[in-house]
A = this chain, B = another copy of it.
């Protein structure tokens, strides 16, 4: 039987999505369940098994040769376990073994969700054709992943590219991760909103205090709102420049809810990048919005499974 498809799982704190994906990244079958994030580990696994049950029932299942998982982190790809911050019932949870058991022994590839998004943008989106790229999600948190030398760089545990938790302000505000002045502590959506409120920004009559509302105010010229996005842009620029200086990337792709703020974020980000990306070999670095939509996690997990299969075939 020719196995030309892969299965993919995208596991987040809100939903568990599954799909059967072909070699061109098209999703030919789908299944989805809400994540019972506050329940015990077996209940969460039950939701994953329900998604897998729908997929294995598909007449296309016989064509599936491998399965990729992109999961909220931290993950440990070397151990096959996950410990998603927002799913307390899973700590060092043996997800790879459980998924393999539920699928009759299929080869399983596990990566973090930031790495999965990156695989998708590199395969089908804004980083296509770039051999060295950083892809980021700027949202409730700040995540990311790396492409180096034309290949995904998940790192030994599948967590590489965690740009949200590098410190760009070593004496700065404490971050929930335990460090200080992390990119996420300055540039995530909730921190953009908090900083605007702290500095006197007042929400509109609808009471919306989200980063999207701050972005709307910034677009309308509110100086405090503009300044909060400029500070986020400065932290993102320092983090992106650090990444480029360390590993030589030529493009940074920005996605996620805050990324959708558009030029309110991207214009000061490009300016600030000029301040921090100063060495000759990082000056050509460009910043561009993400192109993949809500399927990025699924498509990226599929890409990781396909790459693993291709590598195995050439060994």
Contact = CB atoms under 8 A, between A and B. Distances in A.
B248 A166 contact: no
Contacts of A148: 148, 153
A32 to B, nearest CB: 28
Interface of A is mostly: loop
Interface size of A as a range? 35 or more
Interface string A111-155: 000000000000000000001100000000000001011000101
A186 to B, nearest CB: 9
A173 interface: no
A79 to B, nearest CB: 11
B279 A155 contact: no
A286 interface: no
A69 B238 CA distance: 31
Given A160-B248, A179-B276, A167 B242 contact: yes
Contacts of A242: 166-167, 242, 246
Contacts of A245: 162-163, 165-166
Interface in A265-283: 275-276, 278-281
A156 interface: yes
Contact of A280 (B74, B156, B241): B74
Contact of A278 (B76, B169, B179, B278): B179
B248 A159 contact: yes
Nearest to A247: B160
Contacts of A74: 279-281
Contacts of A177: 278-279
A156 B132 contact: yes
Contacts of A279: 74, 159, 162, 165, 177
11 contacts: A74-B281, A76-B281, A132-B155, A160-B247, A162-B246, A165-B245, A169-B169, A170-B234, A178-B278, A246-B247, A247-B247
Closest 4 CB pairs of A and B: A155-B248, A178-B278, A166-B242, A157-B281
